Amino acid sequence: MFNKMKAWAKSLKRQIFILYYACKDERVPWYAKVFTACIVAYAFSPVDLIPDFIPILGYLDDVILLPLGIMFALKMIPKGVLSDCEVKAEELMQKGKPRNWVGGSIIILIWIVITVWAVMKIYPLFS
């Protein structure tokens, strides 16, 4: 079972790299590029939208939402583009993943806004 999970995770990583190259390809429709770019940015982000330390929900995005997003993005991209990107993805997997500080910054900003909002709502209750 552990080997199955490990193979699944490696396959997921490979698919993310394929999407990384696909969102840069001019043959991909604009709506697919936007969706794919969001999935890739989230996957490469150093921060999760739902932090992993939150029980059960913390891994929900990693186990359910991210694979679903990858599946939908792969269906939006033309087959010819996918085959070209698969070759590039294999090379990239040898080197390591790129960093997306913009995506990470956006997620951090979302958490800051949520925290400020929560403090503004809770603080008056204690005054």
Q: Say what the pLDDT of residue 98 is.
A: 59
Cα 104 from chain centre: 10
User: Mean pLDDT by 10-residue block, N- to C-terminus, for the chain (127 residues)?
Assistant: 73 84 88 89 72 73 82 91 85 67 77 89 84
What number of other Cβ atoms are within 10 A of residue 123's Cβ?
Answer: 9
Domain extent at residue 88: 2-126
Report d(CA 45, CA 88) in Å as an integer. Answer: 21
Query: Which ranges constitute the DSSP H helices of 55-98?
Result: 57-60, 66-76, 79-95
> 15 with 69: CB under 8 angstroms?
no
User: Angle, to 10 degrees, between the axis of helix 79-95 and the axis of helix 2-22?
Assistant: 110
How many domains, in total, are found in the chain? 1
Q: Say what the pLDDT of residue 31 is.
A: 92
